Amino acid sequence: MPTPDSVVENGTRLWGRLDDRPRTVNPLDAYSGPARAWHAFRLKEWVGFTLAHGELFSAMIMQDAKYLASSEFYVYDREWRTLHEYAGSARGGSLALPADLLHGGACRFASDGYRIDYDFDTDAGCHRIRIDIAASAKAPAVRGELLLDAAGASAPLSVSARLGGGGTMYTHKAVFPASGTLTVGGHEYRFDPQRDFAILDEHRSELPYRSTWTWGTFAQRCADGSIAAANFCARPQPDGEEEESGLWLDGRAEPLSDVTFEPASDDPLAPIAVRSADGRLDVEFVPEGRKGVRQNFGVVAVRYHQLFGAYRGRIGAGEAARSIDGAHGVVERMLMRA
**pLDDT given for residue 121 in this prediction:** 97
Q: Is it the case that residue 295 has pLDDT exceeding 80?
A: no
**pLDDT given for residue 337 in this prediction:** 83
**pLDDT given for residue 21 in this prediction:** 97
Write down the pTM of the prediction. Answer: 0.97
How wide is the angle at C-alpha 120 spanned by C-alphas 212 and 32, nearest 5°? 60
What amino acid is encoded at 52 in this protein? A
Q: How many CB atoms lie within 10 A of CB 297?
A: 11
Q: How confident is the model at residue 278 (pLDDT cuts 50, 70, 90)?
A: very high
**pLDDT given for residue 185 in this prediction:** 97
Q: How confident is the model at residue 1 (pLDDT cuts 50, 70, 90)?
A: low
Closest among 198, 184, 194 to 126, alpha carbons compared? 198
**pLDDT given for residue 27 in this prediction:** 97
Residue predicted with more confidence, 337 or 334: 334
Distance CA 296, CA 95 (A): 21
Q: Is it the case that residue 5 has pLDDT exceeding 70?
A: yes
The burial class, CB within 10 Å (0-12 / 13-18 / 19+), for 335 is: middle
Determine the average pLDDT of the residues in 1-21. Answer: 92
Question: Could you tell me what percent of the chain has a pLDDT over 70?
Answer: 99
* CB-CB contact of 204 with 25 (8 Å): yes
**pLDDT given for residue 296 in this prediction:** 76
Distance CA 257, CA 16 (A): 13
Determine the average pLDDT of the residues in 183-206. Answer: 97
Distance CA 107, CA 121 (A): 12
Please, which residues bridge with residue 110 across strands? 115
Mean pLDDT of the chain: 95
* CB-CB contact of 175 with 229 (8 Å): yes
Distance CA 308, CA 302 (A): 19
Q: Is it the case that residue 199 has pLDDT exceeding 80?
A: yes
Q: Is it the case that residue 239 has pLDDT exceeding 80?
A: yes
117-142 pLDDT tens trace: 999 999 999 999 999 999 999 999 99
**What is the SS3 assignment for the chain?**
CCCCCECEECCEECCEEECCCCCECCHHHHCCHHHHHHHHHHEEEEEEEEEECCCEEEEEEEEECCCCEEEEEEEEECCCCEEEEEEEEECCCCCCCCCCCCEEEEEEEEECCEEEEEEEEHHHCEEEEEEEECCCCCCCCEEEEEEEECCCCCCCEEEEEECHHHCEEEEEEEEEEEEEEEEECCEEEEECCCCCEEEEEEEEEECCCEEEEEEEEEEEECCCCCEEEEEEEECCCCCCCCCCCEEEECCEEEECCCEEEEECCCCCCCCEEEEECCCCEEEEEEEEEEEEEEEECCCCEEEEEEEEEEEEEEECCHHHCEEEEEEEEEEEEEEEEC
282-291 pLDDT tens trace: 999 999 999 9
Q: Is it the case that residue 251 has pLDDT exceeding 90?
A: yes
Q: Is it the case that residue 255 has pLDDT exceeding 70?
A: yes
Determine the average pLDDT of the residues in 10-29. Answer: 96
154-191 pLDDT tens trace: 999 999 999 999 999 999 999 999 999 999 999 999 99
98-112 pLDDT tens trace: 999 999 999 999 999
Rg for the chain, CA atoms, rounded: 19
